[in-house]
Structure 1
Amino acid sequence: MNTKYIDLIEQTYDFPQDEFQLKNNALQFHDINLMELIKTYGAPLKFTYLPKISTNIQRAKTWFNSAIEKHNYKGDYHYCYCTKSSHFKHVLDEALTNDIHIETSSAFDIDIVNKLKDSGKINDETYVICNGFKREKYINNIAELINSGHQKCIPIIDNYEELDLLTKETNKDFQIGIRIASEEEPKFEFYTSRLGIGYKNIVPFYEDQIKDNDQVELKMLHFFINTGIRDNAYYWNELQKCLRVYTRLKKVCPSLDSLNIGGGFPIKNSLYFTYDYEYMVDEVINQIKLTCEEEGVPVPHIFTEFGSFTVGESGGAIYEVLYQKQQNDREKWNMINSSFITTLPDSWAISKRFIMLAVNRWNNQYERVLLGGLTCDSDDYYNSEQHMNAIYLPKYEKENPLYIGFFNTGAYQETIGGYGGLQHCLIPAPKHILIQKNEDGSLHTQLFREQQKSEDLLNILGYYDN
């Protein structure tokens, strides 16, 4: 009778998979011995497997360059990383080893850009695409970067006042982009994105504010939709509307030569996950080329801004099951030694699902459970794995600790959770481990941050005199 956890996983999923293997009754992730990691550093912990960042960047570059060659596409491809997905230095250091560019969202991002320039990680040939609604400090920082001679700093105009604000602060000629305010999916509570300028208003905006402005050159049209790059009618329809705007604008604006199709490649959130990245890239390039040929304009250079795709699959979190509470005849609660609200805020805020697997005891019998966090908030739980109606884990045994892992958690969780700051119910942020490959292929781990201490939190709260 197949009653072991390993039987359940093998019957339910195609297992093992590229990144997940089983060795000595315990889970390995990208050849990381997770039980050894736990023995060395304890749990709870978070980790970042840095090589996965480079792997995904190179995958995307290969897909786009192959499609460009296949279709004899006469434009270049530029990969940008969205710093908002994870601002950590170790993430940027790894990503920038792959000859990529940067997309920013706020004033402090430009301070990071300056630090990266000072350290030689980027230079004046690196595109810095400045997105977002720009307040005074952001405008000033962008202007300072342009005034310093960084000609490939391209602010993306989000509203009608930004161009005037930028020209007042800059003393050099500079290039800009315009963001399209795309229409949202019908299920959204609003029809049009709050970001950017409406489809019908872009050409008039160029005619009124850019065409006769000798200081400014329009280089880029920026297109992004909230649901990401998906093979559905909504995405292809919005892309076609974008391309119609691009070709109209190109006919009256010779300097326009680049199309930024934003980001939104999905990442693996289940062992069932399937997505044909290569097909999607091929079809995007094909659609852009066909539309430009029909309208008689040159094809644009292609920019993408991948954030979650770059860093999401590099991250993981490991918890220990502290205790099991039988609350009624059907519900067993496995209580973890941390909090979902604080460490995986997307699981609580937007019901996002991550890959969740037991780390050890795969040869034990399994049971149906709910997972609860340590805070006193009723929303601090994780109750269903993607494509399944319940969570199944090896049976709880008080004398035989069970560890569970959440994988592909590397994007947004630290920034949304307020890394290094106060956490709900003062649950401390877990320690954070960085994992890199040595030249011989072996893995090297290092402690990036210790778990927060009481003193750290009380100091933020003002209980210590400065």
Structure 2
Amino acid sequence: MKNKYSDLIEQTFYWPQEEFYVEEDQLMWHDINLMDVIKQYGTPLKVTYLPKISENIQKAKRMFNVAMAKVDYKAEYNYCYCTKSSHFSFILDEALKNDIHIETSSAFDINIIEELAEQGKLTKKNYVVCNGYKRDQYLDNIARLINNGWTNVIPVMDNKREVTELSDRLNEKTSIGVRIASEEEPKFEFYTSRLGIGYKDIVPFYENHIANNDKVELKMLHFFINTGINDTAYYWNELLKCVNVYISLKKICPTLDSLNIGGGFPIKNSLNFDYDYAYMAEEIIAQVKRTCEQAGIQEPHIFTEFGSYTVGESGAAFYNIIGAKQQNDREKWYMIDSSFMTTLPDSWSINKKFVMLAINRWSDPYERVLLGGLTCDSDDYYNSEQHSNAIFLPRLTKEEPLFVGFFNTGAYQESVGGYGGIQHCLLPAPKHVVVDRDEDGEVRTKLFAKEQSYKSMMKILGY
């Protein structure tokens, strides 16, 4: 009878996978023995595996450059990292090793840009694409960069007033972008994105607010799809509409030369995940090339803004199952030593699923369970996986503790969860360990942050 946890995984998925395999009854992740890490640092534990960041960046750059070569695309590809996905210094340090550019979304991002430049990790040759609704402080900081000689800063206009308010702060002429307010998916709660300027208003906006402004010139047209780059009729329709707006603008605006296709590649949320990245890159480039050729317009430089794709698959969270509660004849709860609401807030707020696997005891029998967090909130639970409306884990015993891992958690969870602040029920933020490899390929771990102390919470609360 095949009732071991390892049997379940092997029967359900193609196994082993690129980053996962089992050795001596324990899960290995990127050739890292996770039980060794857990024994050294304990749980709950957040881990960032830095080499995965560079791997994904290089993969995307290679795919887009190959796609351009296939259709003789006569323009450049620029990879931007969206800092809002994770602002940690070790993330930016790793990403910037790969000759990329930066996308910002708020005022303090600019302070990070200046700090990175002071450390020699970012130069004025890098593009800095500034998105988001721009309040005074954000406009002041953007203008400071530009007035200090950052000629590749591209503020993307989110609304009509921003052109005038930015121009009033500039000493020199600068390039800007305009964001299109894309139409949302039919199932969304409203029809048009609150960000950007409507399709029909783009050309009049250029003619009335930009064309005769001696402080700005239009370089970039930007569009963003909230659901990311996916092989759906909705995505291809929005892309085509955007390219047609680009063509209309290009005919009256010679300085326009760049198209920013915001909305990133998806990342693995299940071991059944199947996505043809190379096909999508090739189809995007081919459609842009073909549409521009038909209109007699030179194809634009392509900018992408990848946040979750850049950093998401570098992250993981590990928990200890500290107890079980049989609440009725069908519902058995495994309690983790932390909270989903505080450490994986997307699982609670938008019902996002992550890759979830047992770390140890793969030879043990499994059972169907629900996972509960430590807060007193009824919403603090995890009850299904992306591929199945259920969770299965090895049975809990008194002889050996059980550990569980959630993978590809590296994007947004710390910022959405309020890293370093006050968490629900005053549960402490877990330890955070950064994993890298030295020149010989040997794994190196470093404790970035200790578990949050009661003293830091008391200070924040004013005690």
- Shorter chain as normaliser: what TM range? over 0.9
Secondary structure of the 1:21 match is strand
Distance 2:178 2:346 in 1: 30
Q: Deviations over 1:184-235 (max 9, x none)?
A: 0111111000000000000001101111112211000001111111101000
Distance 1:141 1:426 in 2: 35
The one-letter code matched in structure 1 to 2:128 is V
Residue 361 of structure 1 and its aligned partner are, at CA, apart by 0.2
Distance 1:212 1:48 in 2: 48
Secondary structure of the 1:252 match is coil
Is residue 206 of structure 2 the alignment partner of residue 206 of structure 1?
Answer: yes
Residue 263 of structure 1 and its aligned partner are, at CA, apart by 2.7
Residue 398 of structure 1 and its aligned partner are, at CA, apart by 2.5
Is residue 259 of structure 2 the alignment partner of residue 240 of structure 1?
Answer: no
Residue 77 of structure 1 and its aligned partner are, at CA, apart by 0.2
Deviates more, 1:396-405 or 1:419-428: 396-405
The one-letter code matched in structure 2 to 1:362 is W
Match of 1:123 in 2: 123
Match of 1:420 in 2: 420
Match of 1:48 in 2: 48
Distance 2:16 2:263 in 1: 29
Match of 2:90 in 1: 90
Match of 2:186 in 1: 186
Distance 1:385 1:214 in 2: 55
Deviates more, 1:384-393 or 1:404-413: 384-393
Match of 1:140 in 2: 140
The one-letter code matched in structure 2 to 1:76 is E
| Count of matched residue pairs | 463
The one-letter code matched in structure 2 to 1:201 is D
The one-letter code matched in structure 2 to 1:90 is F
Q: Could you list the structure 1 runs, at least 4 aligned residues long, displaced by more than 3 angstroms after superposition.
A: none
Is residue 293 of structure 2 the alignment partner of residue 290 of structure 1?
Answer: no
Match of 1:366 in 2: 366
Match of 2:69 in 1: 69
Match of 2:344 in 1: 344
Distance 1:132 1:244 in 2: 23
Question: 1:323–1:398: 8 Å Cα contact kept in structure 2?
Answer: no
Identical-pair percentage: 66
Residue 329 of structure 1 and its aligned partner are, at CA, apart by 1.1
Secondary structure of the 2:262 match is coil
Structural mapping, 1:139-178, within 5 Å: 139-178=139-178
Secondary structure of the 1:7 match is helix
Secondary structure of the 1:141 match is helix
Match of 1:312 in 2: 312
Q: Deviations over 1:338-397 (max 9, x none)?
A: 000000000000000000000000000101100000000000000001111211100011
Residue 399 of structure 1 and its aligned partner are, at CA, apart by 3.0
Match of 2:271 in 1: 271
**TM-score normalised over the length of structure 2:** 1.00
The one-letter code matched in structure 2 to 1:224 is F
Secondary structure of the 2:168 match is helix
Q: Deviations over 1:67-89 (max 9, x none)?
A: 01010000100000000000000
Question: 2:317–2:407: 8 Å Cα contact kept in structure 1?
Answer: yes
Is residue 436 of structure 2 the alignment partner of residue 439 of structure 1?
Answer: no
Distance 2:219 2:138 in 1: 20
Q: Deviations over 1:255-288 (max 9, x none)?
A: 0000000132100000000000000000000000
Secondary structure of the 2:371 match is strand
Deviates more, 1:394-403 or 1:81-90: 394-403
RMSD: 0.5
Secondary structure of the 1:397 match is coil
Question: 2:170–2:215: 8 Å Cα contact kept in structure 1?
Answer: no
- The runs of 5 or more residues in structure 2 that have no matched partner are none
Q: Deviations over 1:109-159 (max 9, x none)?
A: 000000011001111100000000000000000000000000100000000
Secondary structure of the 2:224 match is coil
Secondary structure of the 1:261 match is strand
Question: 1:247–1:292: 8 Å Cα contact kept in structure 2?
Answer: yes
Distance 2:78 2:304 in 1: 7
Residue 64 of structure 1 and its aligned partner are, at CA, apart by 0.3
Residue 42 of structure 1 and its aligned partner are, at CA, apart by 0.5
Distance 1:400 1:240 in 2: 57
Distance 2:10 2:457 in 1: 43
Residue 313 of structure 1 and its aligned partner are, at CA, apart by 0.1
**TM-score normalised over the length of structure 1:** 0.99
Match of 1:195 in 2: 195
Is residue 1 of structure 2 the alignment partner of residue 8 of structure 1?
Answer: no
The one-letter code matched in structure 1 to 2:145 is L
Distance 2:61 2:174 in 1: 28
